[in-house]
Amino acid sequence: MEKTLSIIKPDGVARGLIGEVIKRLESNGLKIIAMKMLKMNKEQAESFYAVHKERPFFQSLTYFMTSGPIVVMVLKGEDSIVKYRDIMGATDYREAAEGTIRRDFATDIEKNIVHGSDSPKTAEFEIGFFFNSFEVNG
């Protein structure tokens, strides 16, 4: 069983899509083993997205991620990293497959509703960024 980090981004929360995202995760067999709502400050968003610090969209992305509350979750399941990325769809919603969260709800390459870890190493860093061991139930 593998763990991955999921974020419902500020656009997803503001648009009332928390329930819709969670329904898709649970109905695809991903188990939520930790969850909270919080609002990041700029410094926190910059350190979460540090791998992207040289990218042209870094300032815009980290500003967007601080624009409102987010819901962070740890998901557990078989191949949860790849499985959850399949449910999310491609980064650019115009390239995302039919029936994915981003294809159905994203409005922009940046405002794409959800985040998901991209590898076991990233998942470990990202889960530890938001949760301590007492908060992860499994």
> Catalytic residue positions?
115
Pattern 99-138, Mg ion, x by CB under 5 A: -------------------x--------------------
- Minimum distance between the CB of residue 118 and Mg ion, rounded to whole angstroms? 5
Burial level of 30, CB count in 10 A (0-12/13-18/19+)? buried
Pairwise CA distance, residues 57 & 120, whole Å: 25
Of 57, 58, 37, 56, residue with least CA distance to 48: 58
Q: Which is nearer to ligand IDP, 95 or 135 (CB)?
A: 95
- Which region, judged by CB under 6 A, interacts with ligand IDP, from 30-38, 66-74, 110-118, 121-129? 110-118
Cα atoms in the Cβ-side hemisphere of radius 13 Å centred on 117: 25
Q: Which is nearer to Mg ion, 24 or 126 (CB)?
A: 126
- How does DSSP classify residue 88? H
Task: Decide which of ligand IDP, Mg ion, none touches 91; Cβ closer than 5 to 8 Å per partner kind.
Answer: ligand IDP
The answer to the question of residue 63 lying near ligand IDP (CB under 6 A) is: no
Mind giving me the DSSP string for 63-96? Answer: HHTTSS-EEEEEEEETTHHHHHHHHH--SSGGGS
* Residue ranges in contact with ligand IDP by CB under 6 A: 57, 61, 91, 109-110, 112, 115, 118
Which residues form the interface with Mg ion (CB under 5 A)? 118
